[in-house]
């Protein structure tokens, strides 16, 4: 039997349970720490970044990709493989 590398939630929970070192916690939450640092950096560089208008613009820009990504995730989760995502994305632009 092989052991797989635990995912982020399991690794993070295990690291905080056993009194983990700062390095283990940093490794487990590196993506979230990087995301928070980018948010702070962009807000400091351009105060309008955190404004409602800009956030709505960002959400509108990524909405199609997020919806398509959710569909692909479900397909992969049930063991399928779908190559039609490019055609669906192209069709959604025409609608």
% of the chain beyond a pLDDT of 90: 22
- C-alpha separations of 71 from 49, 58, 63, 65, 75 in Å: 29, 20, 13, 10, 6
Nearest to 14 by CA among 1, 2, 29: 29
Considering the domain architecture, whether residues 72 and 87 belong to the same structural domain is answered as yes
pTM over 0.85: no
Domain limits for position 79: 51-95
Q: Is the C-alpha dihedral spanning 20, 41, 56, 73 positive or negative? A: negative
One domain, residues 35 and 70: no
Cα gap 95→19, rounded to integer Å: 53
Same domain, 40 and 83: no
Same domain, 66 and 38: no
What is the average pLDDT across 64-92?
Answer: 83
Per-residue pLDDT at 4: 58
9-38: pLDDT as tens digits: 666 666 556 666 878 877 888 899 999 999
Q: Are residues 31 and 73 in the same domain?
A: no
Q: Do 58 and 91 reside in the same domain of the chain? A: yes
Domain count within the chain: 2
Asked if residue 7 has pLDDT above 90, the reply is no
């Amino acid at each position: 039997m092989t052991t797989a590398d635990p995912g982020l939630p399991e690794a993070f929970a295990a690291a905080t349970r056993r009194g983990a070192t700062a390095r283990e916690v940093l490794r487990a939450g590196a993506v979230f720490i990087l995301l928070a640092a980018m948010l702070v950096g962009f807000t400091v560089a351009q105060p309008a970044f955190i404004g409602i208008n800009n956030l709505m613009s960002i959400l509108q820009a990524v909405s199609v990709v997020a919806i398509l990504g959710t569909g692909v995730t479900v397909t992969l989760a049930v063991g399928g493989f779908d190559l039609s995502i490019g055609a669906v994305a192209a069709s959604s632009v025409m609608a």
